[in-house]
Structures are given as C-alpha cells and as structure tokens.
Amino acid sequence: TKNFVGECLELGVVLSLNSERVDKAVPFERFQDRLKNHVLKNYDKAEDVMCLVLDLQYPEADFEGKYAPTDLTKDEAKKTTKIKMWEMKAKLFLKMHETLHKNALKLFGTVLGQ
C-alpha cells in the first residue's frame, strides 16, 4: 500500500493511519483543504455540503431552515398565484434536497476511496 494514490487522482493526497506508510498521505487538515477545492470545482450546489467537509456536520437541519418554503397564510392560500409560487418553491426545495443527498453520498464515496 506504500504507492496507494487513492481512487480520486485529482485530489493528489490520501487518508491513512499514522502507522501506515503511504507516499501520498498528508495531515487531515491538508486533506480537508484539497477535498474542499475538489468539491467546489466538481459538485452542483457544493456550498450545501461544505459543512460536511469543513465541520464534519451533516447539513440537514440548517438546510431545511434555509430553503424549505414557509406555509401560506389563510389569505395567501386563497390566491391562485400564491399557491402556484409555493408549489414551485416546494418542487425546487425537493430537487435541492435530492441534490444534497446525492452530493453527500458522492462525498462519502470520495473520502472512502482515499
């Protein structure tokens, strides 16, 4: 495993234990920095998974609070235009949520491959 370069050659670094002798191994902070650059360059809506890379936190709670459409008031619920706009926001939110999960899986796969 000394010459292991990881599955994502673009990163140019690998994660390893201190006891492993791997040529491309780097400290975790440097790996995070390379991973951040890779994600920003290659992922749609990369900013939504950046907290996974930098803070090791899954963004679910922040995501819903940030993007989920708010409920319509009784008056708004009577207006066709407001209903249509809310439906469009809800569809966009679901699409963004799907992208978040796909990006998270893609990110986990990249990390595990390194």
Give the pLDDT confidence of 40-54 residue by residue, as tens digits.
999 999 998 999 999
Q: Is the pLDDT of residue 75 over 90?
A: yes
Give the pLDDT confidence of 17-73 residue by residue, as tens digits.
777 888 878 888 899 999 999 999 999 999 989 999 999 888 877 788 888 999 999
Predicted structure pTM score: 0.78
- 26/86 Cα distance (integer angstroms): 47
Q: b/e per residue, 75-95, with b = 16+ CB within 10 A?
A: eeeeeeeeeeebeeeeeebee
Q: What is the mean pLDDT of the chain?
A: 90
| 3-class DSSP state of 51 | helix
**Alpha helices for the chain (secondary structure H):** 28-42, 50-54, 60-67, 80-113
User: What percent of the chain has a predicted confidence (pLDDT) above 70?
Assistant: 98
